[in-house]
Structure formats: C-alpha cells, structure tokens
Amino acid sequence: MTLALVGGTHRTVPLALRERLAFTAEQAAEALGRFRDRFPGREGVLLSTCNRVEFYTAGERGAAPPPPDQLVSFLAECRGIDATSLGPLLSREHDEAVARHLFGVAAGLDSMVLGEPQILAQVKQAWAIAQDSHTSGPLTAGMFQAALRAAKRVATETALGRERVSIPSVAVADFARGVFERFEDKRVLLVGAGKMAAETLRYLREAGAQDVVIVNRTAARARDLAARLDVTPAPFSDLEHQLASADLVVSTTGASDHVVPLELFLRAEDHREGRPLVVLDLAVPRDFDPRIGGRPGVWLYCVDDLAAACAANRRSRQREMPQAVAIIDEETRRFMGDMHHRSTAPVIEQLLAGWSETGDAELDRLYRRLPHLAEADRTEIRQAFERYAAKMLHPPLTSLRNESRSGPPHGLLDALRRLFNLPE
C-alpha cells in the first residue's frame, strides 16, 4: 500500500500561478478521467480550491502511484503550465504524511483562516468527483472517510471553529446578530459593489436574509453585482430613501469622504419611525459619519471594531490548536493501523483457505469411514473442526493485528509465509 501527494497552497504558489492551476469541478473530472486512462489501477482524488490544488494518489503492490515528477507533469499538462516552473513550488508527501496532511486540511488547520468550515465541503466534493470518475478506490475511500471523521471530531471536541475570524463573518455573527435574532424579515442595504460586500452578503444569506438592495455610484457595476448575487439594484441617487427603508446596512465603498454624512442620515431618520438600524461600515476611510452612531436606535460598527473581535477570536482559536493537533495525530495512527492491517488480508485469506481446505479433506475422509453418522452429528463435528481451526489461528492473527498498529508488519508476514509455505 502506498499513498502519495503532490500539491501547492497559498503559502507556496503565487496567486497568479495558482489561478492558472485551479480546476473547476468539470475540469477536475476531465483530469481524473485522463489520470485513470494513463495510470490504470491507481486511485486519485483532486482537491482544488481558491487557496490550494492537491492531487492525492494511492495504489497497492504492483500498481504504486506514479513518481512525483510524473504527477507534477500531469497537473501542468492538464492546465497548460510549464512543468519546470511549477515543480519547485509543489510539495511532495508519502504514506503517513499524506494522511496526516489531508486530515489537517479537512479540519481547517491548514486554511488561510484557521478552522474555517468551508474546506470540509470542498473535501467532500473532491471525493465525490473522484467517485463519479471511478478513480476513488478502497485506499482513498478509507483515507477520505477517516479525514471526515477527524474533521468532525475537531469541530465537536474543540472550539476551533466556533469563533469567527474574518471581518464579514464577525460583522454578521457577532454584531448584526447582537441586535437582530432573525433576518428573514429584514431589509438589507448594500452600499458599494466590492468583494467585501459580496462576502458579507453570503453570511447574511446563510443567516436567512432575503430582501436585499444594492446601490453603487457606478450604476452598471451595481447591476452586474445584483445579477450575480440575485439582489435588487437601485440608483445611487435613491440612497436617502433606501436608508429610510433599511434595517441593516453594509457599506464597502472606496470613497475618500463620507458617503453618508450626518445631514443625509438625519433626513432619512425622519422617515424611519424609530426602527432600529445596524450599520456595518467596512470601508476605509469610513463611509458613515461617526456621529451617526450616537443617534437613537443606531448600532454603527466600523472596521476597527470588527478587527478587534477578529483578533480576539484568532487568539482563542490558537489556544485550541494543541488539542486539534492531538486529534489529528490520533486519527492518523488509527487510519494507518487500519491500512497496515488491510495489507495483511492476502496472507490471512491464504491461511484461512489452507486450513479450510485441509479441514474439509480430513472431514471427508472421516465421513467416508463413518457412513452411519447422522446429518446432525456430521454438522456438530464440522463445527468443532471450524472452532478448533479458528482458535489455532487466533494467536498469529492477533499478533498481526497488534503489529499493524505500529507499522507495516513485514517481518511477521514473511515469517508466516515461510512457516506455512504460503506463496507471495
């Protein structure tokens, strides 16, 4: 049994090259089909996210994974990249290190945002694509199932994923939820059409927000983002009216001065009828005049407020790392023990088959010498033979199982083959 990994992450591969190396789901399926045809008998799973591209391969004796340089060349060929420039940036791992790495990835320990939960869904999707492409087999299936188990343990047994660490996630979960218990009945106003607005909206959608309006100085950009995010665009000249209608505002423009000065807000406030308003001002410089935060019923948060919460959450997550790493270590040992024990299956099958064949021959000889035996007596004798064989084989099989926990039991396997004259 051999496991192999070739891949790169945001720490090792520059963004420009990582963008070229990335695979869509359709491209990953196509690449796995090519891998299946070029390297028959090998297993492969391709994990591609915005921050990593990793190719996990596995094989049994006689069908070991391709050498790392071949895997690098294969990935480069699939994406039309020069392998000589890509190779030095990709890491290579083998066997236990592959499993340990995957378990840490699935648990969010190797993510840009420590403990972020989205990676687990991406790991599941990668495995599903490999299954559909018929490149996932018993080795990768066992490894990815163990990875999901490790990630679940880290999520439930530590607080690593319970604290938000990105500004949009903190803005929604720690601040907006501090005012509103639910968002299904709230009007959300996005001021600006940048990436921060889109990411914040994703968290709001997960929290239940449905009624969303976007305004931007460039009307075409507002319309484009509105179409992509399935929200309603409004002209920037309508900002005062939209402020009067909103329950939650997310502002992310790149303006050099306040987009919402105090005077504009006071005019909108006259039509709000005292309803509470949460403003997440994620712009630098700030979009909202800070004095607006002093108005009755207004909760105004700026980037500094959110960054402080993020920093506190990061420190909290770091304290959980030793326990999370201990879980990954434990699950890695468990998986490798299972895999090493799996490698003993052919010898165990040969032992059982040999004893069964010998027992059947001896029983046939006995039954011929005792033709008067009733069927019930024959069954009882056969069961006694089977129990005897099982008890005789129990000690060597137990030794194999125990030896597998600490590594491949090559010594015992060779000894059993010689003792019982088993073929390779």
Q: What are the residue numbers of the active site?
A: 50
Name 41's Cβ contacts closer than 8 Å, sequence gap at least 6.
Answer: 59, 60, 62, 63
CA 273/CA 320 separation, integer angstroms? 46
Q: Is the Cβ–Cβ distance between 242 and 234 less than 8 Å?
A: yes
* Cα distance between residue 406 and residue 385, in whole Å: 33
Give the C-alpha separation, 81 to 299, whole Å.
50
Buried b (16+ CB within 10 A) or exposed e, 342-352: ebbeebbebbe
3-state class (DSSP) for residue 51: coil
What is d(CA 408, CA 343) in angstroms, rounded to the nearest whole number? Answer: 8
C-alpha–C-alpha distance, residues 373 and 356, integer Å: 21
Residues 6+ apart with CB under 8 A from 234: 213, 214, 215, 222, 242
Amino acid in position 390? A
